[in-house]
Structure 1
Amino acid sequence: MTISRRKLLGAGTGLALTGAMSTACGSNTGREDGGSEAGKPALAQWYHQYGEPGAEQAVRRYAAAYDKAKVDVQWRPGNYDQQTAAALLTASGPDVFEVNGPSLDQIQGKQVIDLTELFDGVRDDFNPAVLAPKTYDGRLWSIPQTIDTQLLYYRKSMLADAKVRPPRTLDELIDVAKELTSDKVKGLFLGNDGGAGVLGGTPLYAAGLGLVTDDGEVGFDDPAAARALGKIRQLYADKSLLLGAPTDWSDPSAFIQGLTAMQWSGLWALPAVQKALGDDFGVLPFPKDGGSGKDTVPVGAYGAAVSARSKHKDAAKDFVKWLWIEKADFQEDFALSYGFHIPARISLAKKAQKLRSGPAADAVRFATESGYAQPLLWTPASQTAYQDALSRIIKDGANPDTELRSVVRKTNDELQRVRKKKP
C-alpha cells in the first residue's frame, strides 16, 4: 500500500495517532542493534510509504550524503502509524522516524525526545501553524518537513459568465455556489459526502473559533459555531453541492472536467489543474464567516522525531538538524520534486521558483497568513464525535446547536482526561 502526503489532510485536517498498538513491526529495523560502522553510529530512519514516484530514492540519497553516521532508511508499507506506535515501546524501533505529531500519548509517555534546542535561531522561520501541534509545554518534539494545505479552486471563466466575483465570505460562498449551479454544472464540490469528511474544523476557524483554545479549553462552545455549520448545511440543502462525482475531493478531475465551478482540494492538485486549464482558475482560502471570522486554510506537516529509546540520541539529533534545518536544497527538493508541497521553512517557501508566482504563490501566502493545524490536544475521540455530528448536520439537517452541545461535552471530558496524564 502506498500513501501520498495528501493523506495527512484527508480526515478532518489530520490523521489522528493513537497510543500503544499491538501490531507487530517486523524484525528488520535497520538499527543493527545500536552498533556502528567504520566508527560511525548506525541510525535507523523510518518513513511511511509515499505514493509520489521518486520520493524513496530521494530520501535514500539524502541519508547517503550524511557523513557523520551510517543512516539506514526504512521504507515502511502498511499501517505506518500503528507500526511506529508499537516500535517506540521496544528497543528495536527506529532512531529517527517520520510522524504526524508526535501524538500526545507519545510525548507524555516520554517515547520521544525534546528537540527544542535544534530550533535555536530558526524557530521563527518555520510556519507557526505547523509548529503548534508539535509543541507541548513550550517544547518542540519534531521538525516539520513539508506542508500540505487545502484550498478553494474556482474557474475564472464560469464566475465571469455568471457575473459573480470569487467569494470572500461564507455567505457569499453560499450565494455564488447557488448562482453557478445549473442542470449541467454544480456550484461547489466539497467531496462526495458534502464536506463532512474533509472540512473538519475549518468552518469553526473561519468563524473566528477553533477546536481547542491556546489554554486547553473547548474552542467552539459559542453560538457562532452552530451558525457556521448551519451554513454548510445550507449549501447541501440548496443542492449547490456536487455529489456522487467519479473521484473524491482530493482529485481535481471533477473541477477540470467542468462538473463543478468551484472545488475544495489540496495544493497537490495545482499542477494538474494548471496543465488542464492554464490561467483559467484561481485559489482562495476558506472564506471567513461573520464579523469575528477570518480566512482559513488547514495545513498539515509530517515531522522528523527522535525515539527516546535510541542508543545514539545525540547522533540522531545531529542528523535531523542537518537534514531538516541545515540542508535547504534537500528540503526544497523533497517538497517540490516529488509531488507539490510547501517547504516548512518560510524563507524557503518564499524563494522556491515553483512557488513564486500565480496561484502557487497565493497558496504559500494563504498557508503562512491563514493556516491552522489540528491541535495536539484534539484527541481521536473528540474528532470522531465532531465528525459524526458534522455529517448529521450537513446530510440529515440535524440541529447544529444540539449536535455541538454533545460534542462540547465529549471534548471537555477528553481535555480533562489528557490533562490528568500530564507528567
Structure 2
Amino acid sequence: MRFERSHTRKAVALTVASSLVLLASACGGGDDGGSGDSGSSGGALEGRGPITFATGKDTSGNLTNQVAAWNSQHPDEKVTVAELPESADQQRAQMISNAQNKSDAFSVLNLDVVWTAEFAANRWVTQLPEDQFPDLGKLLPSTLDTAKYRDKLYAVPVTSDGGLLYYRKDLLAKAGVKPPTTWAEMVTDCQKVKALPEAKSIGCYAGQFEKYEGLTVNFSEAVNGAGGVVVGKDGKPNVDTPEALAGLTALTEGFKTGFIPKAAITYQEEPGRRAFQEGNLLFHRNWPYVYALAGKTDGSSKIAGKFAVAPLPGLKGPGVSTLGGHNYAISEFAKNKATAADFIKFMSSEERQRANIEKTSQAPTWASLYDDAALNKQFPYLAPLKASIEGAQSRPKVVKYGDVTTAIQEAAYGALTGTTTPKDALAGLQTKLSQLITQ
C-alpha cells in the first residue's frame, strides 16, 4: 500500500511547461471535473529537495525500510512519511482537505486506485509526463489503467490487489473437504468442519463489512460474483437487478443465519485479519498482504503453517475480485516535484517491488514478478492472484467517487443490519447512483 534521475529539460521547455501550469492554475477546477484537460500539462517537473509522502497507516511494517533505502541514496532529498489513519475513508478525507487548502504539506500521495479519476478531475494531482516513466509498459495492463484519467497519466501503480479466500487448510483436510468454489459449498464446508470437536465454536466466514470503503469492495464482489454489476461498461448504474439482489441476499442471509459472525459488521481489514490469525475464522476474504503476517512464526499468529489461499467463491461458480491497489501521485501544490517524480520511479521499480513482496506479500504491479520462480516458491498464490487481478472488476471510475461510495456503503450496510430489505436497498441505490453518475 514504489531508480532513475529525471532528465533535465531545455530552458525553453521549462518555460513553456511553467506557463502551462500557471494557466491551468488560473483556470481553477470544478467539482464536476469540467471539460477538456484536467490537472497540469504533463510537462517537465521542477524542484529538488526534501518531500513528504502521505500514506495510510503502514500495516505491513516494511515502508520504513523502503523509504530508508531512498533516503540513504538521496541525503539532500529526504522523504518524510506522513502516516494517515488506517481507514481508507479518513485517508482520502485528509488528502482532499490538504488539496482544497492548496497546501504543500503533502508531496506524494498514496492513492487507492479508484481515487485517481477524482483527484485528477479536480486538479488535486499533477499530470505526469509518460516519457519520464519508461517502465510503464512492463506493468500489468489492468493496474496501469487505474493510473490514467481521460487517457492521460496522473499516477504510477506501485501495488495491486486482488481479493483472496484465506482458509484453514488443517481443518478442511481433517473434515475431508476441499476449498469451496461457490458460496453454497463454503456454507456446507463450514458445517462439516464445525462438526469437529475442536472447531465447534469457530466462525465460518468474514470479509470487511463496516461502513467504509471495504464494504464497497465486498458488496461489489458479492454482486459481480452473482453475475451482476454495480455500474455497467457503458458507465451507467445497473444495480437494481435479480443478479445484484442474489449477491446482496447471500450476504444478508449470512448474517441472519450466523454463517457470518455478528462481530464482522465492525470488521475492516485489520480486525478481520486478527480474528483469522487468532483462529476464530475458518474462511476469510482479504488481500495478499495478510499472507506474510498470518504466516509469521514469532508467536503473533496462531495459524502459521495451518492456512492456505484460494480464489474467491461466487454464487454459482468462481467469484470476481474487486480490483484494489495503490497508485502514487504528485500533489498539484507540492514543492520539489522533480524529486517527487524520482521517488515514485524508485518505489515503483522492479527492485523495490521485489523487496516489498518478499517482506510483506503485497501484490506487485510488475508483470515479471508473478512469473518469478523464487517468488512463486515463497508465495504459491502468485499465479492465481495474477489471474484474479487480470479478471478483476473496478469500482466505478467517477469524478464524484466519494458520494458514490458513500451511497453504496449506506445501501449495503442498511441491508446487512436489517434496517432495509435487500430489494429496497438496491432500488434506492439505483436511484441515487443515477443522480450522481452523469455522462
Normalising by structure 1, we get a TM-score of 0.74
Out of 289, 300, 309, the position equivalent to 1:268 is: 289
CA distance 1:119–1:342, shift in 2 (3 Å):
farther
For 1:13-412, what aligned pairs fall within 5 Å after superposition? 41-42=48-49, 44-48=51-55, 49-65=57-73, 70-78=76-84, 80-89=91-100, 90=102, 92-101=104-113, 102-115=115-128, 117-118=130-131, 122-181=135-194, 183-190=200-207, 199-244=218-263, 248=267, 250=270, 251-274=272-295, 275=297, 276-277=302-303, 279-290=305-316, 294-310=318-334, 315-316=338-339, 319-320=342-343, 322-325=345-348, 327-337=349-359, 339-351=360-372, 353-357=374-378, 359-362=380-383, 364-377=385-398, 379-396=401-418, 398-412=420-434
Alignment partners' CA distance in 2, 1:145 and 1:57: 16
Q: How many residues align?
A: 376
Secondary structure (helix, strand or coil) at the match of 1:115 reads: coil
Alignment partners' CA distance in 2, 1:109 and 1:189: 36
CA distance 1:119–1:233, shift in 2 (3 Å):
farther
Structure 2 counterpart of 1:282, one-letter code: A
Determine the structure 2 residue equivalent to 1:14. none
Contact 1:154–1:263 (CA under 8 A) maintained in structure 2:
yes
Structure 2 counterpart of 1:341, one-letter code: Q
Deviation at 1:273, TM superposition (A): 3.1
Alignment partners' CA distance in 2, 1:255 and 1:379: 31
Alignment partners' CA distance in 2, 1:167 and 1:254: 20
- Deviation digits for residues 177-202 of structure 1 (CA, Å, limit 9, x no counterpart): 34444542333233686995762311
Amino-acid identity (%): 19
Contact 1:143–1:324 (CA under 8 A) maintained in structure 2:
no
Deviation at 1:305, TM superposition (A): 1.3
CA distance 1:210–1:345, shift in 2 (3 Å):
farther
Deviation at 1:142, TM superposition (A): 0.5
Deviation at 1:302, TM superposition (A): 2.2
Secondary structure (helix, strand or coil) at the match of 2:232 reads: coil
Alignment partners' CA distance in 2, 1:350 and 1:53: 25
Normalising by structure 2, we get a TM-score of 0.72
Deviation at 1:143, TM superposition (A): 0.4
What residue ranges of structure 1 are gaps of 5+ in the alignment?
6-18, 21-33
Contact 2:321–2:392 (CA under 8 A) maintained in structure 1:
yes
For structure 1, which segment, 399-408 or 345-354, has the greater mean C-alpha deviation from structure 2 after superposition?
A: 345-354
Alignment partners' CA distance in 1, 2:413 and 2:106: 38
Alignment partners' CA distance in 2, 1:161 and 1:129: 39
What residue ranges of structure 2 are gaps of 5+ in the alignment?
2-29, 32-44, 85-89
Structure 1 counterpart of 2:308, one-letter code: G
CA distance 1:175–1:44, shift in 2 (3 Å):
same
Contact 2:323–2:389 (CA under 8 A) maintained in structure 1:
no
Alignment partners' CA distance in 2, 1:383 and 1:364: 25
Structure 1 counterpart of 2:79, one-letter code: V
Alignment partners' CA distance in 1, 2:192 and 2:69: 51
Structure 1 stretches (4+) deviating beyond 6 angstroms?
192-195
Across the aligned residues of Structure 1 and Structure 2, the Cα RMSD in angstroms comes to 3.6
